[in-house]
């Protein structure tokens, strides 16, 4: 842990003074690591968990560089939702209190256009906004980014989750190549690695709170005497640990279907994923699982191959994998992104030799654990956090994520924080919303307009 004070940085005295008055004495770790390269004008990718102080890291960087006398848009900060954009604007204004006449403008969807155009005509130094609305202003030519020197992507992982990748790339195209680009994210999925290669210039990579050692996955083994006990063991562990997203691996298609059916009969929400599904059912299952509308996915290894899901809370080996490498690959899907993962494996007497091979690989003894007490079966299965809505229109109808967020969050809509992943295919769009606001979200979407048109909306249930 570094203990560094802001005074050691090349920040102007107005900013330093104000930091003192805000009681920001020590830098947080991500600030201590990212501010020196940011102030040196470098492109930076910084990964750190929520609450690590990322906002001040980029805000101090862009405020230090800002020329207040030059009344042009010099910084653009893209955020996934209006709520987050408002938080960022508030923090920037707080940090900028020592600088007079600085103008920070927030541009987000879900509010009328007119007043935003008016504010833009008055000018601003810093724009904080959501990709959809910024793109709309660019299209209407009410916003000009020719003078941007700092571009920030805040909560980049969440923006990509919400389907904003095309909008972001379009916006970036309209900023000067000479800009400094800063990317902040809590996780670093492959999609971010891909886009960062062409939007950042020789970035410095900073990561705080990495926890990628083997200890992030706890492996438990259970000795099972027959198939009936296998199913009970699965239910017991699901009810005991209540994982928010888990994959149950089976070795055959038939078993996948049987396990999923049985779990659903028992009140769990489980999706089956195997090679016999048609493309649409398969896509829909993956979308629902990835957006947290379903807690359990039962799958064969082959079907799960394309599964790009970060951060499963648990993996179950309903049957041991035939191969030790497959075992390691299966359990490697949990415990990512610094969170603690659990892997539960069931084995029977006939698997003893596989257990010995695993002991060699894991370099430890494997001991059978006791299953939770049978009384755990009385508990209620966990409900998914989110519910998926399907809109019968997609890319072909030019529907974009911003249109959907806008339609959901406008007047008496739901808040941006309640919107989850958005995925748009040629003819459909899927959006996850938090369970408690599904009614409101459904009625907002089905009565509202997307690109000036009404679309049929369905709640997707298992």
Catalog residues that contact ligand ADP under the rule CB under 6 A: 24, 27-28, 31, 48, 50-56
Neighbours of 177 (CB within 10 A): 7
User: Which residue, 79 or 263, is less far from ligand ADP as judged by CB?
Assistant: 79
Rounded to a whole number of angstroms, the minimum distance from the CB of residue 98 to ligand ADP is: 16
Rounded to a whole number of angstroms, the minimum distance from the CB of residue 391 to ligand ADP is: 31
Q: Pick what 112 binds: ligand ADP, Mg ion, none; C-beta below 5 to 8 Å, kind-dependent.
A: none
The footprint of Mg ion on residues 392-451 (CB under 5 A) is none
Radius of gyration of the chain, Cα coordinates, nearest whole angstrom: 25
Cα 363–369–374 angle (5° rounding)?
A: 160
User: Which residue, 57 or 419, is less far from ligand ADP as judged by CB?
Assistant: 57
Is 158 one of the binding residues for Mg ion (CB under 5 A)?
A: no
Which residue in this structure is represented by tokens 């996955």?
Answer: 217
Q: Which part of the chain contacts Mg ion (CB under 5 A), choosing from 51-59, 118-126, 262-270, 439-447? A: 51-59
User: Which residue, 90 or 240, is less far from ligand ADP as judged by CB?
Assistant: 90
Question: Is residue 217 a contact partner of residue 334, using CB atoms and an 8 Å limit?
Answer: yes
CA 200 to chain centroid, in Å, comes to 20
Rounded to a whole number of angstroms, the minimum distance from the CB of residue 97 to ligand ADP is: 13
DSSP 27: P
Q: Which strands, in side-by-side order, build the sheet including 386-391?
A: 419-424, 429-434, 386-391, 457-460
Q: Which part of the chain contacts Mg ion (CB under 5 A), choosing from 50-58, 328-336, 403-411, 435-443? A: 50-58
Q: Which residue is nearest to Mg ion (CB)?
A: 54
Q: Which part of the chain contacts Mg ion (CB under 5 A), choosing from 46-54, 230-238, 286-294, 429-437? A: 46-54
Q: Pick what 27 binds: ligand ADP, Mg ion, none; C-beta below 5 to 8 Å, kind-dependent.
A: ligand ADP
> 142-147 long-range contacts, Cβ below 8 Å, gap at least 24?
142/116, 142/117, 143/73, 143/107, 144/73, 145/73, 145/76, 145/171, 145/174, 145/175, 145/176, 146/176, 147/70, 147/72, 147/73, 147/74, 147/176
Nearest of 374, 357, 375 to residue 366 by alpha carbon: 357
Rounded to a whole number of angstroms, the minimum distance from the CB of residue 184 to Mg ion is: 7
Residues 6 or more apart in contact with residue 228 via CB below 8 angstroms? none
Rounded to a whole number of angstroms, the minimum distance from the CB of residue 217 to ligand ADP is: 25
User: Which residue, 25 or 383, is less far from ligand ADP as judged by CB?
Assistant: 25
Question: Is residue 401 a contact partner of residue 132, using CB atoms and an 8 Å limit?
Answer: yes
Per-residue binding string, Mg ion, 54-73, x by CB under 5 A, is x-------------------
DSSP 373-442: PGGGGGSPPPPPSEEEEEES--GGGT--HHHHHHHHHSTT---GGGEEEEEE-SS-EEEEEEGGGHHHHH
User: Which residue, 54 or 327, is less far from Mg ion as judged by CB?
Assistant: 54
Rounded to a whole number of angstroms, the minimum distance from the CB of residue 58 to ligand ADP is: 9
User: Which residue, 20 or 427, is less far from ligand ADP as judged by CB?
Assistant: 20
Instruction: Indicate the pairing of strand 204-207 with strand 217-223.
Output: unpaired
- Nearest-10 crossing angle of helices 54-65, 29-39: 20
Question: Is residue 293 a contact partner of residue 461, using CB atoms and an 8 Å limit?
Answer: no
Structural tokens at position 287: 């979308």
User: Which residue, 20 or 67, is less far from ligand ADP as judged by CB?
Assistant: 20
Number of residues that bind Mg ion (CB under 5 A): 1
Rounded to a whole number of angstroms, the minimum distance from the CB of residue 52 to ligand ADP is: 4
User: Which residue, 54 or 133, is less far from Mg ion as judged by CB?
Assistant: 54
Q: Which part of the chain contacts Mg ion (CB under 5 A), choosing from 28-36, 52-60, 69-77, 264-272? A: 52-60
Rounded to a whole number of angstroms, the minimum distance from the CB of residue 155 to ligand ADP is: 8
User: Which residue, 24 or 316, is less far from ligand ADP as judged by CB?
Assistant: 24
Question: Is residue 72 a contact partner of residue 144, using CB atoms and an 8 Å limit?
Answer: no
Nearest of 160, 180, 179, 205 to residue 48 by alpha carbon: 205
Nearest of 284, 340, 352 to residue 314 by alpha carbon: 340
Rounded to a whole number of angstroms, the minimum distance from the CB of residue 28 to ligand ADP is: 5
Rounded to a whole number of angstroms, the minimum distance from the CB of residue 208 to ligand ADP is: 9
* Residues 165, 178: Cα–Cα separation, whole Å: 21
Q: Pick what 239 binds: Mg ion, ligand ADP, none; C-beta below 5 to 8 Å, kind-dependent.
A: none
User: Which residue, 24 or 268, is less far from ligand ADP as judged by CB?
Assistant: 24
Q: Which part of the chain contacts Mg ion (CB under 5 A), choosing from 23-31, 48-56, 337-345, 350-358? A: 48-56
Question: By the criterion CB under 5 A, which residues form the site for Mg ion?
Answer: 54
């Amino acid at each position: 842990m570094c203990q560094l004070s802001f005074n050691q940085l090349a920040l102007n005295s107005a900013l330093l003074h104000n930091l003192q008055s805000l009681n920001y004495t020590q830098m947080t770790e991500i600030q201590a690591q990212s501010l020196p390269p940011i102030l040196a004008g470098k492109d930076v990718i910084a990964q750190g968990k929520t609450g690590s102080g990322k906002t001040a890291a980029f805000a101090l960087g862009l405020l230090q560089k800002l020329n207040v006398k030059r009344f042009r848009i010099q910084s653009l900060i893209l955020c996934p939702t209006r709520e987050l954009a408002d938080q960022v604007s508030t923090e920037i204004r707080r940090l900028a209190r020592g600088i007079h006449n600085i103008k920070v403008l927030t541009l987000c969807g879900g509010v009328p256009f007119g007043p935003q155009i008016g504010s833009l005509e008055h000018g601003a130094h810093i724009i904080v906004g959501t990709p959809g609305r910024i793109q709309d202003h660019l299209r209407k030519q009410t916003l000009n980014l020719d003078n941007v020197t700092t571009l920030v992507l805040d909560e980049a992982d969440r923006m990509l989750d919400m389907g904003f990748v095309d909008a972001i790339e379009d916006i970036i195209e309209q900023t000067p190549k000479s800009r400094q680009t800063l990317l902040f994210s809590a996780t670093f999925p492959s999609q971010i690695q891909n886009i960062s290669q062409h939007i950042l210039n020789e970035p410095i990579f900073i990561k705080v709170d990495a926890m990628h050692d083997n200890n992030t996955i706890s492996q438990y083994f259970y000795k099972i005497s027959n198939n009936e006990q296998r199913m009970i063991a699965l239910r017991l562990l699901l009810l005991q640990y209540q994982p928010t997203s888990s994959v149950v691996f089976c070795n055959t298609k038939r078993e996948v279907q049987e396990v999923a059916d049985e779990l659903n009969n028992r009140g769990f929400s489980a999706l089956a994923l195997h090679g016999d599904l048609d493309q649409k059912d398969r896509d829909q299952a993956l979308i629902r699982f990835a957006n947290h509308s379903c807690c359990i996915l039962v799958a064969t290894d082959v079907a799960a191959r394309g599964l790009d899901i970060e951060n499963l809370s648990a993996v179950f080996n309903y049957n041991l994998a035939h191969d030790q490498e497959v075992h390691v690959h299966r359990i490697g899907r949990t415990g990512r992104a610094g969170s603690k993962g659990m892997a539960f494996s069931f084995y029977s007497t006939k698997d003893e030799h596989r257990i010995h091979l695993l002991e060699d690989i894991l370099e430890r003894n494997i001991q059978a654990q006791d299953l939770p007490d049978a009384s755990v079966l009385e508990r209620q299965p966990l409900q998914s956090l989110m519910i998926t809505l399907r809109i019968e229109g997609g890319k072909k109808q030019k529907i974009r994520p911003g249109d959907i967020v806008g339609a959901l969050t406008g007047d008496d809509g739901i808040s941006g924080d309640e919107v989850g992943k958005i995925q748009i295919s040629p003819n459909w769009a899927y959006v996850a919303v938090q369970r408690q606001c599904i009614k409101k979200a459904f009625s907002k979407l089905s009565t509202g307009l997307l690109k000036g048109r009404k679309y049929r909306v369905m709640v997707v249930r298992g």
